[in-house]
Amino acid sequence: MDTEALKQQIEEIYSKDDNFIKLINSLKKSYFIGFVLIGLTIIFFLIAGALIALPFFLENKIFKENYFKIISYVFSIIFVILLVSTFLFYNTKMGPSKIYKSLKSSQFDNEKTKKVYEYYFKSIKLGDTDKEFLMDVNSTNNYFEYNYGSRLTLIKKSNRDLPKPNVIKFTFKDNEVHFIINHPIKYTHERTISTLISNKNNNNTDTKVYYISTDDLFYKNTKFDQSYDGIKITKGKHFDKNFQTESVVFNKKYDINLPSNDIRAARFLSPKLIDKMSTLNDKDFKEFGINKNFYVSKSRKTDYTNKIDFQIGALNYKKIKNFDSFKKQLINKVTRDFELLSRSFNYIEKIY
């Protein structure tokens, strides 16, 4: 789809919301005030440095003593004023963090974000899908789950109250499809590295931080009974002794967790499903199987925060400075979310 058309749709939907536009304008003013405060602080230190250096070029000792006292008092007062002003600015309604919070809610108000996603959904080719589109918004923020190595009890407690991720819903061949992008997991691993220096052990702690983004697609199962629950296809491994299909390509790419004599494997892996999956080369593919319903899971790891996939519709507001940058961020998010959805959809397209 042409991104220009999507951009115009976003502008048409959001420009009608006076509250949203007011918040965007407030954000622009907030950044302007912030830049002014930063500028004044820089000027303050430059002038302070120049005035402090001035007496060193003078010979009058009495003047020097009085000069330093006066300068100290004046600059102390100005510094405190700047410090208090900056603190009050960033902790009032005019501060960016407060405006971001209001913008996140306003972005989803009156189904604005849902309308953008629905517009994009109807414009792309996604199999023989029903054009009725639903989007459940459970939260508007970017959330992390946390993993601190062995501190699992703290992890479970801190992650317990996270809201469910937002969901895209539609139907395909009369069966419901749900798609979610899970809250990313932030992994922090600490390790102690010992080095021998001058016959003494020197211990240093090395901290490694990385992020795991995952997404899941669920497709209603009306084809197989409960005896098929737990079947899953994963990335292929060498010397696999489980069930093998007649497709050499499929056998190299995938493994199924059923022995060679299990009739369920042959029934689950229909020829058209095998043919379809043999053509797919998704580097993020994790597994595809049945747990009451069909599911497809993908996973990817990154060291960079700008590569993280947050839940559906959730933007990185730190990159938003005005209406144009908001439109750019939303376009990037919509297209990325549907790219992930389409890649998962490929696996379930030939089930029925």
Please indicate, yes or no, if residue 43 is contained in any of the structural domains. Answer: yes
Residue entry with tokens 């730190």 = 318
- Which pLDDT band, with edges at 50, 70 and 90, does 120 fall under? very high
Of 32-46, 106-120, 149-163, 169-183, the one with minimum mean pLDDT is: 149-163
In-domain check, residue 341: yes
Report if residue 106 sits inside a domain: no
CB burial of residue 71 (10 Å; 0-12, 13-18, 19+): middle
Same domain, 129 and 274: yes
CA dist 18 and 20 (Å) reads 5
Angle at 55 between CA 45 and CA 73, to 5 degrees: 55
Radius of gyration of the chain (CA): 29
Handedness of CA 334, 337, 341, 344 (dihedral sign): positive
Per the structure, the count of domains in the chain is 2
* Cα 105 from Cα 139, distance rounded (Å): 9
* Gap between the Cα atoms of 255 and 232, Å rounded: 8
Q: Which of 32, 56, 90 is the last residue of a domain?
A: 90
Question: In terms of domains, do 80 and 148 share one?
Answer: no
Q: Give the pair of three-digit tokens for residue 310.
A: 């947050």
- Specify whether 123 is located in the same domain as 56: no
> CA-based angle 315:320:326, to the nearest 5?
70
Is there a single domain that holds both residue 265 and residue 145?
Answer: yes
Could you write out the DSSP letters of every residue in 200-234?
EEEEEEEEEEEEEEEEEEEE---SS-GGGTT-EEE
Secondary structure tally for the chain: helices H, strands E: 10, 10
Residue 196 in this model has a pLDDT that exceeds 80: no
Measured between alpha carbons, how far is 274 from 268 in angstroms, rounded to an integer? 10
User: Residue 158 above 60 pLDDT?
Assistant: no
Q: Do 48 and 152 lie in a common domain?
A: no
pLDDT digits 0-9 by tens, 32-85: 776 776 777 777 777 767 666 666 665 555 555 676 677 777 777 777 776 776
Residues 167 and 62 in one domain: no
Q: Does residue 248 share a domain with residue 119?
A: yes
**In a shared domain, residues 223 and 319:** yes
Q: Are 37 and 124 found together in one domain?
A: no
Nearest by Cα to 101 from 182, 26, 184: 26
Structural domain of residue 71, as residue ranges?
3-90
Of 90, 125, 156, which marks where a domain is finished?
90
Structural domain includes residue 103:
no
Per the domain annotation, does 158 fall within a domain?
yes
Residue 46 in domain: yes
Q: Under DSSP, is residue 156 helix (H, G, I), strand (E, B) or coil?
A: helix
Is residue 96 situated within a structural domain?
no
Give one DSSP letter per residue of 306-323, joined into a string. Answer: GG---STT---GGG--SH
Q: What crossing angle do the helices spanning 96-108 and 112-123 adopt, rounded to 10°? A: 60
Three-state DSSP class for 251? helix
31 found inside a domain: yes
Tens of pLDDT along 10-36? 999 999 999 999 999 888 777 777 677
Beta strands, E only, 126-184: 134-136, 145-147, 167-172, 175-181
Both 183 and 320 in a single domain? yes
Element (DSSP H or E) covering residue 262: none
User: Are residue 120 and residue 77 in the same domain, yes or no?
Assistant: no
Residue 75's alpha-carbon distances to 34, 79, 315, 338, in angstroms, are: 21, 6, 41, 55
Looking at the fold, whether 68 and 213 belong to one and the same domain comes out as no
56, 90, 124 - which closes a domain: 90
Average pLDDT over residues 222-241: 90
d(CA 10, CA 12): 5
Phi-psi region of 18 (alpha: psi -120 to 50; beta: other; left: phi over 0): alpha
pTM for this one?
Answer: 0.81
